[in-house]
Amino acid sequence: NIMRALLPQLSSSKSVERRVGIAAALKHCAKDKDEHYYLDDELHAPVVALRVLADQRDIDKRRNKEEKVAECFTAVSVGNREDDPQVALFLLEALNCFCATRRCRRRLKAVDAYAVVRDTDLAFSPGTAEDDDDDDQAPKGVLVTTEDCPQEEQEEEENGISSRISRVCADIADMLL
C-alpha cells in the first residue's frame, strides 16, 4: 500500500506541499471504515498523525506536572508540532474519521489523544502565543475555540482554517471524552 511509504514522510519531508498531500491522502483513506483496521493496526496511522501534531514542549509540561504521558510519545523523540495549519487540519480531520469506529476510539483514548488535540487547538487558535507559559490560567482540559480569541489581526483565510481546526478539535473531544 502506498500509505506505508507515505506516512513516514509526514514528519520528515521539508516540502509543505508534500505534507499537505500526504495528510489529505490519509484523511481520504480514513473516511473508509473498512480501511481502519489496516491503517490502525498495521500502519499505526492515528499514532503517526498524533506524533506530527504533538509538540515536545507540551509533553514535557505534562510530564513536569506529573500528568499521564502515553508511551508512544516518550519512546521516540516527538520534536516540534506541525506548523502548517492546512496539514494540521487534514490530520485532525483524519483523526476525526478514525473516531468513527469504537476500536480506533479506544486506541486513541489509550494514547491520550485528547491532550494532543487540545494542545493543537490552543496552538492554532488566533491570539494565543506558542511560547506562553501562562497555561495555568486556563481551566485544565478545556478547549479554546476561535470565538474566545480576538480575530481582528488575523487574515480571513487563517481565521477560516483556525475555526475549522477548532471545530474538528471540538468534535474529536466530544468523541474521546
Tell me: pLDDT of 7 over 60.
yes
pLDDT tens digits for 79-126? 788 999 999 999 999 999 999 999 999 999 988 899 899 999 999 987
95: burial class by Cβ within 10 Å (0-12, 13-18, 19+)? buried
What is the pLDDT, as a whole number, of residue 154? 44
CA angle 100, 105, 107 (to 5 degrees): 145
Q: Which residue did the predictor score with more confidence, 6 or 152?
A: 6
Beta strands in 62-136 (DSSP E): none
What is this structure's pTM? 0.80
pLDDT value for 174: 93
pLDDT category, 160, cuts 50, 70, 90?
confident
Say which residue the cell 506541499 belongs to: 17
- C-alpha to C-alpha distance for 97 and 126, rounded to whole angstroms: 25
Using 50, 70 and 90 to split pLDDT, how confident is the model at 155? low
Q: Rounded to an integer, what distance in angstroms lies between the CA atom of residue 55 and that of residue 82?
A: 8
Averaged pLDDT, 60-74? 71
If pLDDT is split at 50, 70 and 90, which confidence band does 135 have? Answer: very low
What average pLDDT does range 25-53 have in this prediction? 92
- Name the nearest CA neighbour of 112 among 150, 85, 72: 72
Percent of the chain with pLDDT over 90: 54
In the chain, DSSP finds a helix count (H) and a strand count (E) of 11, 0
